Amino acid sequence: MRFLQTNFRSYIISIITVMIITVALTFIIMRPPMSELMYLALLLGVTTLGSALIGYLSYRFGWWRQLRSVRLTLILGYVLASGLTLFNVWVTARLMFINDHDLALASLLLLFAGGISVSFGYFFSNSIEDSIRSFVQGTKSIREGDFSARVEVEGHDEFAQLSETFNSMAARLEEVEEAKQAFEAMRRDLIAWVSHDLRTPLSSLSAMLDAMADGVVTDEATVQRYFQQGQEEIARMSRLIDDLFELAQLDAGNLDFDPQLNPISDLISDTLGSFAARAQSKGVQVAGAVSSEVGLVWMAPDKINRVLNNLLENAIRHTPEGGQVSIEVESEPENVVVSVADNGEGIAEEDLPRVFDRFYRIEKSRSRDRYEKGGAGLGLAIAKGLVEAHGGEIWVESEVGAGTRMRFSLLTSAPA
């Protein structure tokens, strides 16, 4: 209603302005007596207000919206405007006692001008109708699920702005649909992978328990070995469940951690110490170096320790006997960069974009041997989530046969 009132006020102001300008030009050009000028102003006021009333009523009661075509609406608008102009001039001329010959000639000229205006309006309406038809087709495509639909942007008017807005909306919907499909595919893969990774240790446990329950295994040494293997399988399932829980927290943004400014050198030393026995048993040398320029780092030590553990475990797993694994920390202007490098088998170029995907394993076989060797495929995904939760980035550099370098950055001050 407020919009309608504003339009009506603007409409009345524009009419009064046109009247004043017309009367002023008449006075300047023709210099009529004041009585005739006042009479002309009265006639123009009455006829113009009548025209304004018709236009306002058609707008107020929505007569134009009853039509089924924008083209027809525009054409009728031109016809009405031309008809009202002809009527106004005819009434004014009659009251001013213009002779019949001049009145007929003026009427014919106005009729001709009105016809030209209507013809122009017809072709002008084609452009508007084409734009609207394009929007209709685009919205139908969106409704039917084709989010790649776009409308052509022409010119710089409101239709062009609407076209750009529509295309932006369609692009956003397309991104959402792609993300939805990717999430659905990830959900299916998650169910399949978790089912496999839980079924493997459960099958092993079931076989060992059945063997002991049926009396197939009776000697003490074998029973103890079965118990030890069972504990290892349970621990493996527990780690998998813990990893899934941590991933769920990362996805939901509910990770419970409290980063502060902490030294990272002690964390590197502790991590290397915890892997010393494992690396020695495999014949792999581990070493670390922290640049003297590295000071305090914005981090939650327990979470970054988890990142280092995952990266170091992954590096040792893929480094052959006699190989080397190193951790290096370098200082940069606004952050530090931690590198975990090995001279192992390396990663193929086609696998690099997916190394941080959850459940992605470089090993293509899903056999028992590969399961034990490769883990559940969640370590790097968790490392990525934890680093990004700290406001850092993680990336990988690798060459087949030369080794792999996992790198991640951490802030040296609290984020703004």
- Residue ranges per structural domain of the chain: 1-165, 188-252, 260-411
pLDDT digits (tens, 9 = 90+) for 115-137: 777 777 777 767 677 777 787 88
CATH assignment, 260-411: 3.30.565.10
335 Cβ neighbours under 8 A, 6+ residues apart: 392, 409, 410, 411, 412
Taking a C-beta distance cutoff of 8 angstroms, is the pair 317, 376 a contact?
A: no
Taking a C-beta distance cutoff of 8 angstroms, is the pair 371, 352 a contact?
A: no
- On the CB side of 370, how many CA atoms lie within 13 Å of its CA? 11
pLDDT digits (tens, 9 = 90+) for 327-380: 999 998 889 999 999 998 888 888 888 888 876 665 543 334 434 444 556 788
Closest by Cα among 151, 145, 139 to 180:
145
Phi, psi dihedral angles at 394 (to 5 degrees): -135, 140
67 band by pLDDT with thresholds 50, 70 and 90 = low
CA separation for the pair 13, 212 (Å, rounded): 99
Between 126 and 160, name the one with better pLDDT.
160
7 band by pLDDT with thresholds 50, 70 and 90 = low
pLDDT at 283 over 80: yes
State residue 409's pLDDT score. Answer: 94
State residue 203's pLDDT score. Answer: 80
CA separation for the pair 7, 2 (Å, rounded): 9
155 band by pLDDT with thresholds 50, 70 and 90 = confident
pLDDT at 4 over 60: no
CA separation for the pair 120, 112 (Å, rounded): 12
Mean pLDDT within 193-204: 74
22 band by pLDDT with thresholds 50, 70 and 90 = confident
pLDDT averaged over the chain? 79
185 Cβ neighbours under 8 A, 6+ residues apart: none
CA separation for the pair 100, 94 (Å, rounded): 9
Between 396 and 161, name the one with better pLDDT.
396
What's the fold here for domain 188-252?
Helix Hairpins (1.10.287)
Question: What residue type is assigned to position 197 of the chain?
Answer: D
Provide the whole-model pTM: 0.53
State residue 187's pLDDT score. Answer: 74
Which residues partner with 328 through β-bridges?
289, 339
309 Cβ neighbours under 8 A, 6+ residues apart: 271, 274, 275
CA separation for the pair 359, 380 (Å, rounded): 9
CA separation for the pair 208, 94 (Å, rounded): 114
The token duo for 75 is 């054409």
Give the 3-state secondary structure of residue 290: strand
307 band by pLDDT with thresholds 50, 70 and 90 = very high
Taking a C-beta distance cutoff of 8 angstroms, is the pair 284, 315 a contact?
A: no
Taking a C-beta distance cutoff of 8 angstroms, is the pair 153, 160 a contact?
A: yes
